[in-house]
Structure 1
Amino acid sequence: MDSTTSPIVIIGGGQSGLAAARAVTAAGLRPVVLEASGRAAGSWPDYYDSLTLFSPARYSAMPGLPFPGDPDHYPHRDEVVAYLEQYAALVAEQGADIRLNTRVTAVRAERAGFVVQGDGGEEIAASGVVAASGARPLIPSLPGADAFTGELEHVAAYRNPKAYAGRRVVLVGAGNSAVQIGYELAEVAEVTLASRQPVRLMPSRLHGLDVHHWAVTTGFDRLPPAWLARLVAGRLVNDPGVYARAVQDGTLRRRPMFTALDGDGVIWDDGTSEHVDAVLTATGYVPNLDYLADLGALDEAGMPLHDGGLSLTHPGLVYLGVEFQRSYASNTLRGVAADADHVIAALAAYAGGAVAALGL
């Protein structure tokens, strides 16, 4: 392992940061992983109680550590947390320096690389930086939200359906989280999905095999996002065989997006008003990169300026875990390692002095 250069600092100790740490050590460089929380498991401990992976265990492992249990079972949230903590121990044994409870507040560029600053005032010189800090909830702007008297929350705050028993709930969104949460809420509450596009369900099993088998073996996972945007309309929701029935029998209803919140209710697109007790927004997440704001690496919306995870503004800065970064699977357990190998190969060349070696 090369100890003559400053380390590669990896911001975030979840699945993306751990995948980066493995790739950095494999490249012969020193990774320092900075994780804001007290566990090297990313956001997984904070997800809702019933969350299970949409991919079976055999397609949910990262390099060097098989996912335990039946390869065909769909791991629960807590299983993923335990797996990631095992993976953190593995990469630590390989040489990664993982520092918990260390929140990064800023990154600045210097001629020799970068300086990463923590919330305790600590500064770490880095020959390269991996921004792998996950995502924060995307809070939509809803007309009338300020005066809405019901409960208005992003599903990031949702844990289980107990608090919604007997209530009228509108869930904004048409993706996997919206449908999975809506389905379990419908057992105890009156639920409607509100979305701009219809829900598009995809069977979890095709021809007797999990759909992820076909995604991997056909090469679907390797199709670039620009092509997917033209070939696949809308978001796909994995259906284990219960969601389609729930939609058909009216257990889980869907309506076009409401036009506004109004006091204690919503105004639907046909102009009718309806009282609702709670509105939950399953509107996705955006990269959590505030610490790069002063570096000039983000666009006006706070999104990274990158090409496949390689910064377009700062050589030596790379990203991991961005949705559709290079493929459909980019921000998943099964896909992040391929992205890590891609960006770390370029980062290792840069940090190793490839440019200087040619006298440039």
Structure 2
Amino acid sequence: MERVDVAVIGSAQSGLAAAHALRRHGLAPVVLESSDRPAGSWPRYYESLRLFSPARYSSLPGMPFDGDLDRYPHRDEVIAYLLRYADRLDADIRTRTRVLEVSYGDGAFGLSLEDGSQLEARAVVAATGTFGRPHRPDLPGLEGYAGVVLHAADYRSPEPFTGQRVMVVGAGNSAVQIAVEVAGRAHVTLAARHAVRFARQRTLGRDLHWWLARTSLDTLPIGRFLRTPPTQLIIDDGRYRPAVAPGRPDRRPLFTGISETKVIWTDGTTEEVDTILLATGYRPDLGYLAPLGALDASGHPRHREGISLTHPGPVYVGLEWQRSLSSNSLRGVGRDAVRTARHVAAHLAHFGEAGLGSGRAD
């Protein structure tokens, strides 16, 4: 069995930032990525996606975005950036390597891989994010709906919905962005339990993230108090509020039921809907840790600011609200990676690293 210093599961921004931080402690991380390239889920996001934060605030440690730092990079720019970052990173990155489960015994972690092989590691960094586990809430009547049900994770572009009657469920940034985009080709309703609330992307000529950095709000360790925020602010670059206000898309409270392909609104009226698109968020994609007992009943990890509360050795990078407002974003994972890498290095120093090292095998 191959033995390694640290196994980093996932190679998008969280895994790459973790590997960078671990290398600075002299460790030899092995990064395990299930897809064909070290860009995580970014290639599967919808085509029009742009970052909310300017390039100057969206870089990983050690390598800034090139070009205009005040622009908002689009999806393909982020993919290219992550691939360049991985190329420059002195770490063993293994693509097409899916981790099925992680177990623990005799002071080490055993990783069972999809190809039938196994690794042994003294520490594990779980950095798989959330995209692989779309949240599909239990909505009234949805199980009996005879039309098409999609999640935002399935959405790529508005063309397939041309001429349809589409309902987007949600009140977050993705819900509003997708609804406005599809409304150019279809009749769209945005339905949600909560009101849509907007925040200006720029105030007094400065981007929102300039203000967050200047006030230190972006870095305050308040994540555990924000795990379930009541509503999400929509970052408006000037396109979304003007589109939603006149009803493109329409806004309505969440439906009360469904009858075949008709939704039942709160006033008792019904309406035919071709597609229901759930922009209802994601949950941590950490099923491989279930054998450890590291997750609660809902699949969330038991941790404090990224440090496991159940075992010595596992840490997390890239969880929403892990430590700060930006913990699951390009602009925030680097800070959390530094803290968790420090914990891993201390753990290995305490328990000893004899016999470990990337590429060693029995």
TM range (shorter): over 0.9
Q: What residue is the counterpart of 1:44 in the other structure?
A: 42
Give CA-to-partner distance per residue, 1:230-280, whole Å, 9 cap, x none: 9x7521110001211112222222111112222112111222211111110
Larger RCO, structure (CA 8 Å, separation 6 or more): 2
Give the distance between the partners of 1:46 and 1:6, measured in 2 at CA.
Answer: 30
Q: What residue is the counterpart of 1:318 in the other structure?
A: 315
Give the distance between the partners of 1:227 and 1:208, measured in 2 at CA.
Answer: 31
Q: What residue is the counterpart of 1:59 in the other structure?
A: 57
Q: How many residues align?
A: 348
Q: What residue is the counterpart of 1:211 in the other structure?
A: 208
TM-score (norm 2): 0.93
2:218 aligns to what SS in structure 1? helix
1:7 aligns to what SS in structure 2? strand
Give the distance between the partners of 1:117 and 1:103, measured in 2 at CA.
Answer: 9
Q: Which deviates further from its counterpart, 41-50 or 118-127?
A: 118-127
Give the distance between the partners of 2:165 and 2:289, measured in 1 at CA.
Answer: 41
Following superposition, the deviation at residue 229 of structure 1 comes to: 7.1
Q: What residue is the counterpart of 1:123 in the other structure?
A: 118
Give the distance between the partners of 1:322 and 1:229, measured in 2 at CA.
Answer: 10
The residue identity in structure 1 corresponding to 2:97 is: T
Q: What residue is the counterpart of 1:28 in the other structure?
A: 26
Q: Which deviates further from its counterpart, 112-121 or 79-88?
A: 112-121
Following superposition, the deviation at residue 7 of structure 1 comes to: 1.1
1:298 aligns to what SS in structure 2? coil
Task: Describe how 1:252-291 pairs up with structure 2 within 5 A.
Answer: 252-291=249-288
Is the 2:140–2:255 Cα contact (8 Å) retained in structure 1?
no
Give CA-to-partner distance per residue, 1:9-39, whole Å, 9 cap, x none: 0001111000100011011111000000101
Q: What residue is the counterpart of 1:308 in the other structure?
A: 305
Task: Mark the runs of 5 or more structure 1 residues left unpaired by the alignment.
Answer: none
Give CA-to-partner distance per residue, 1:111-170, whole Å, 9 cap, x none: 222111111121111010001112121112223223212111101101111111111111
Q: What residue is the counterpart of 2:356 in the other structure?
A: none
CA RMSD of aligned residues (A): 1.6
The residue identity in structure 1 corresponding to 2:173 is: N
Following superposition, the deviation at residue 338 of structure 1 comes to: 0.5
Is the 2:43–2:79 Cα contact (8 Å) retained in structure 1?
yes
Give the distance between the partners of 1:251 and 1:112, measured in 2 at CA.
Answer: 58
Is the 1:142–1:261 Cα contact (8 Å) retained in structure 2?
no
The residue identity in structure 2 corresponding to 1:40 is: P
Task: Mark the runs of 5 or more structure 2 residues left unpaired by the alignment.
Answer: 354-362
Give the distance between the partners of 2:168 and 2:291, measured in 1 at CA.
Answer: 36
Give CA-to-partner distance per residue, 1:48-74, whole Å, 9 cap, x none: 111111111111111111112211111
Identify which of 10, 14, 17 aligns with 1:16.
14
The residue identity in structure 2 corresponding to 1:264 is: T
Give the distance between the partners of 1:228 and 1:120, measured in 2 at CA.
Answer: 38
Q: What residue is the counterpart of 1:108 in the other structure?
A: 103
Q: What residue is the counterpart of 2:360 in the other structure?
A: none
Is the 2:224–2:321 Cα contact (8 Å) retained in structure 1?
no
2:139 aligns to what SS in structure 1? coil
Q: 1:121 to 1:325 in 2, by over 3 A?
A: same
The residue identity in structure 1 corresponding to 2:82 is: L
Q: What residue is the counterpart of 2:94 in the other structure?
A: 99
Percent identity, aligned pairs only, is 51
Q: Which deviates further from its counterpart, 221-230 or 181-190?
A: 221-230
Give the distance between the partners of 1:126 and 1:233, measured in 2 at CA.
Answer: 39
Q: 1:245 to 1:150 in 2, by over 3 A?
A: same
Q: What residue is the counterpart of 2:156 in the other structure?
A: 159
Is the 2:103–2:109 Cα contact (8 Å) retained in structure 1?
yes
